[in-house]
Amino acid sequence: MANAQNLLKIAKSISEVNECESVKKEWENFIRGNSINTIKVRPIIRDAWLRCKNKGVDPLKGNLNRLKNLKKAPNNIQNNENLIELSTPFMHNLISIIGDVGALVLLADSNLNFVKVIAEKKSLIPKNFNDMEGMNFGEDFVGNNALSMCKNLGKAVQISGAEHYCEFFHSYTCSASPIYGPEGKLLGIMNVTMKCHEAHPHTLGMVMAATHAIGTTLSLFEAKQKIMVAHNFLKSAIQAHENGILIIDESGVIKFSNLENNKNIFKKLKSKITFNQKNLYDLLNPRLINDVLINRKAFSKIESQIFLPGGETVDCYITLNPILSEPDKKIIGAIINLWEKRQAYHFISESVGAKARFSFKDIIGISGNFQKAVNLAKKAAKTSANILLIGETGTGKELFAQSIHNESKFKKGPFVAVNCSAIPRELIESELFGYEAGAFTDAQKGGRPGKFELANGGTIFLDEIGDMPLEMQVKLLRVLEDKAVTRVGGTREIKLDVRVISATNKNLLNDIKNNKFRKDLFYRLNVFLIAIPPLRERAEDIPILSSFFLRKLHDSGQTRLSQISSKVMDVLLKYSWPGNVRELENIIERCASISEDETFELAHLPEELLPSMIHENSKDKNELKTNTFEISNSEKELLIKALNSTGGNITKSSKLLGISRSTFYRKMKRYKVDPKVKTTIVKV
């Protein structure tokens, strides 16, 4: 039996030798320029020889001089660290499997640069190839070889003896197989080189198995790297959140949280709880956790509490969402978002515009009584005391309130304004103090915070406080005294740190005498009583305010008006301004919007400011008793009024309106007004 096997080996060896000699003869014919027998030479080899010949590769010496002068890429090894690290064990395994016959195992990158060389015997390394790492084995330099053909064909290749184009490889058999990564990307090529007479028939199969394993390992490694990168991105994103985030598994165990490293949230919790591996059932209402992990329910921003050791609690808002696996949709955990109640109220207040925009630099006025009010407001701002602003409508009470807030220790908190006269009587308690879930029909699910809670840490501005119902005044007094609020339908007190600024245009002392306002509440509110004078009592501020409002409109491109005539200013100074500063600003804006001139003249003023002025200038005072002034505010109507008052006299009419005759004529032409026709203007 043994003799038979030996005979088979001898026969096989003789066959291989004959085959090699046959290919050698065809190679010799080819380099001499003769035709070759395509039956004896594989088509892929013939094509490779033709490529090398066309590239001018020397079949005896190759282009080694050019290869030696070629600078080795300095970063080849560094750029292929993962490929080298994962491939090296497989290269050593191949060496051990092949055994004593000896082999040269080569690893090249996708550009055919050698990045790792392991030789069983130094004698296997071809002459002139002692420093192989970093060398490029492209066809341009060493002719066709297993590595270059493997890359060209995209599959495993074995080349033996004279199948190599360059003669210095004719004593070798080379077996090469590609290493593919994710998405079919070529990462490298592994090659095993042996002497032709030592080559094993299964060498190529072993190399293919090794490269397949390396490719799989690289894919897993790259997938792991991507998962780690995604994890780090997710971790960084979660850590950057201003709200608390917890991720739990299906048993409620906390697998990740950002509470310990986040300096902005839940400061009280950090000294009480270590979150790593803690069970969420110990921190939140177990019913909520069961609803998420068992019943797959999701909850959005509901009120809850975190239970601390020793019986302490932290009020918070919470959002819970189950995490489902794919594709079987099994519960594998949940993600929980937490907001401290004060933090949540701050966000809510910002989202609804609960922010003070004005400061004391926005308050304009030089009159003595007005500056006295401003200075008192600045002093009051430095304290935490309650402030009562009194003044007529339009004097700027909210402007004062916002300025006080922005100058106080509460400036980083919200500024919540409440118009007490605008809230229906039956809703004012829940609006101010909030309500619990189920407190009344149509109550919002989960309850709702009131304005005092939303203002916590900041300022609440109670405008029109004199219109608050008496029964609510009692409850407000209790809140001010206890510095705490209890929601409608609730029993738990919520502590407050709120600055209270109130305002009214009523005489509260008279209301106290008439039992319309509580005396004890009045004295609780007016620790600082600031009286804002009406505009008629600060006439020296009218020119300053008028110019300020006009300049603001002009600079924003809303009007061409840029200056106010002296006659207009005389009218503004004589007017009583029942609507105060707000009325002055509205009139300036209205006149500016209808004018196309650069100077603010009498013709631009509305009729409510003109009767006294016309009365002083007109000789025919009886005409002022007609209905000609019950008109709208357009320039055309002002022209007609003036003409009617002067009997159609252009000179008197132009003087009456404080404009030149030429301007008066131009406006008459524009509006097609006939001075000879007496026109009665009917108010619409």
Residues 216 and 116 in one domain: yes
430 found inside a domain:
yes
Q: What is the pLDDT of residue 89?
A: 92
| Structural domain boundaries, residue 296 | 241-341
Residues 96 and 126 in one domain: yes
Residues 130 and 56 in one domain: yes
pTM listed for this prediction: 0.55
Closest CA to 572 of 549, 588, 555: 588
Q: Is 25 exposed, middle or buried (0-12, 13-18, 19+ CB in 10 A)?
A: middle
- Please state at what angle helix 43-54 crosses helix 2-31, rounded to 10 degrees: 30
Give 3-state DSSP helix, strand, coil % of the chain, rounded to 5.
50, 15, 35
Confidence of residue 622 (pLDDT cuts 50, 70, 90): very low
DSSP secondary structure of 68-120: HHSPPPTTHHHHTHHHHHHHHHHHHHHHHHHGGG--EEEEEETTSBEEEEEES
Q: Which residue has the higher pLDDT, 375 or 199?
A: 375
List of long-range contacts for 627-634, beta carbons under 8 Å, 24+ apart: 627/680, 627/682, 627/683, 628/680, 628/681, 630/681, 630/682, 630/683, 631/607, 631/681, 631/682, 631/683, 632/683, 632/684, 633/590, 633/594, 633/606, 633/607, 634/594
Spatial separation of the C-alpha atoms in residues 630 and 641, rounded to whole Å: 10
Q: What is the pLDDT of residue 1?
A: 46
Closest CA to 454 of 437, 474, 430: 430
**What phi and psi values does residue 654 have, to the nearest 5 degrees?**
-65, -40
Amino acid occupying residue 68: K
The CB-side HSE value for 617 (13 A sphere, CA atoms) comes to 18
Spatial separation of the C-alpha atoms in residues 104 and 102, rounded to whole Å: 7
Q: What is the pLDDT of residue 231?
A: 79
Q: What is the pLDDT of residue 515?
A: 93
Confidence of residue 684 (pLDDT cuts 50, 70, 90): very low
Spatial separation of the C-alpha atoms in residues 658 and 307, rounded to whole Å: 76
Confidence of residue 596 (pLDDT cuts 50, 70, 90): confident
115 found inside a domain:
yes
Structure confidence by residue, pLDDT tens digits, 284-295 = 888 888 888 888
* 449 prior amide bond cis, ω within 30: no
Q: What is the pLDDT of residue 21?
A: 82
Q: What's the total number of domains in the chain?
A: 5
Residues 127 and 263 in one domain: no
Residue 186: CATH number of its domain? 3.30.450.40
> Is the pLDDT score of 491 beyond 70?
yes
Contact indicator for 60, 167 with CB cutoff of 8 Å: yes
**Category of 396 on φ-ψ map: left (φ > 0), alpha (ψ -120 to 50) or beta:** left
Q: What is the pLDDT of residue 97?
A: 84
> Is the pLDDT score of 206 beyond 80?
yes
Spatial separation of the C-alpha atoms in residues 17 and 399, rounded to whole Å: 105
> Is the pLDDT score of 264 beyond 60?
no
Boundary of a domain, candidates 510, 533, 556: 533
> Is the pLDDT score of 370 beyond 90?
yes
Contact indicator for 525, 388 with CB cutoff of 8 Å: yes
> Is the pLDDT score of 351 beyond 70?
no
DSSP secondary structure of 530-583: EEPPPGGG-GGGHHHHHHHHHHHHHHTTS-S--EE-HHHHHHHHHS--TTHHHH
Closest CA to 362 of 420, 323, 406: 406
Closest CA to 592 of 566, 561, 557: 561
Residues 93 and 156 in one domain: yes
Handedness of CA 565, 567, 568, 573 (dihedral sign): positive
Q: What would the mean pLDDT of 318-326 be, rounded to a whole number?
A: 88
**What phi and psi values does residue 138 have, to the nearest 5 degrees?**
-75, 160
Residues 524 and 390 in one domain: yes
133 found inside a domain:
yes
Where helices occur in 259-304 by DSSP H, the ranges are 267-270, 286-293
Spatial separation of the C-alpha atoms in residues 27 and 22, rounded to whole Å: 9
> Is the pLDDT score of 433 beyond 70?
yes
Confidence of residue 127 (pLDDT cuts 50, 70, 90): low
Residues 372 and 499 in one domain: yes
Spatial separation of the C-alpha atoms in residues 531 and 520, rounded to whole Å: 20
Contact indicator for 341, 307 with CB cutoff of 8 Å: no
Boundary of a domain, candidates 533, 553, 579: 533
> Is the pLDDT score of 406 beyond 90?
yes
Structure confidence by residue, pLDDT tens digits, 25-77 = 999 999 998 888 878 899 999 999 999 999 999 998 887 766 655 555 556 67
228 found inside a domain:
no
Residues 418 and 477 in one domain: yes
Q: What is the pLDDT of residue 468?
A: 93
- Residue 490 is given by DSSP the state -
Residues 523 and 539 in one domain: no
**What phi and psi values does residue 653 have, to the nearest 5 degrees?**
-65, -40
452 found inside a domain:
yes
500 found inside a domain:
yes
Helix (H), strand (E) counts: the chain: 25, 19
Residues 361 and 465 in one domain: yes
Residue 313: CATH number of its domain? 3.30.450.20
Residue 470 token pair: 């008496």
Residues 561 and 646 in one domain: no
Spatial separation of the C-alpha atoms in residues 549 and 506, rounded to whole Å: 28
**Category of 483 on φ-ψ map: left (φ > 0), alpha (ψ -120 to 50) or beta:** left
Q: What is the pLDDT of residue 407?
A: 95
Beta bridge partners of 107: 116, 190
Mean pLDDT lowest for which of 12-21, 100-109, 135-144, 302-311? 12-21
Spatial separation of the C-alpha atoms in residues 274 and 270, rounded to whole Å: 7
Structure confidence by residue, pLDDT tens digits, 147-199 = 999 999 999 999 999 999 999 889 899 999 999 987 788 999 999 999 888 87
Q: What is the pLDDT of residue 516?
A: 93
Confidence of residue 342 (pLDDT cuts 50, 70, 90): low
Q: What is the pLDDT of residue 11?
A: 42
Spatial separation of the C-alpha atoms in residues 637 and 41, rounded to whole Å: 109
Mean pLDDT lowest for which of 6-15, 455-464, 470-479? 6-15
661 found inside a domain:
yes
> Is the pLDDT score of 317 beyond 70?
yes
Residues 167 and 289 in one domain: no
Amino acid occupying residue 317: Y
> Is the pLDDT score of 273 beyond 60?
no
Spatial separation of the C-alpha atoms in residues 478 and 496, rounded to whole Å: 12
387 found inside a domain:
yes
Is 185 in a helix, a strand, or coil? coil
Contact indicator for 269, 259 with CB cutoff of 8 Å: yes
Closest CA to 500 of 394, 342, 399, 380: 380
> Is the pLDDT score of 85 beyond 50?
yes
Residue 588: CATH number of its domain? 1.10.8.60
Rounded (5°) CA angle 58-61-62: 55
Q: What would the mean pLDDT of 458-486 be, rounded to a whole number?
A: 93
Boundary of a domain, candidates 505, 533, 561: 533
Mean residue pLDDT across the chain: 81
Q: What is the pLDDT of residue 391?
A: 95
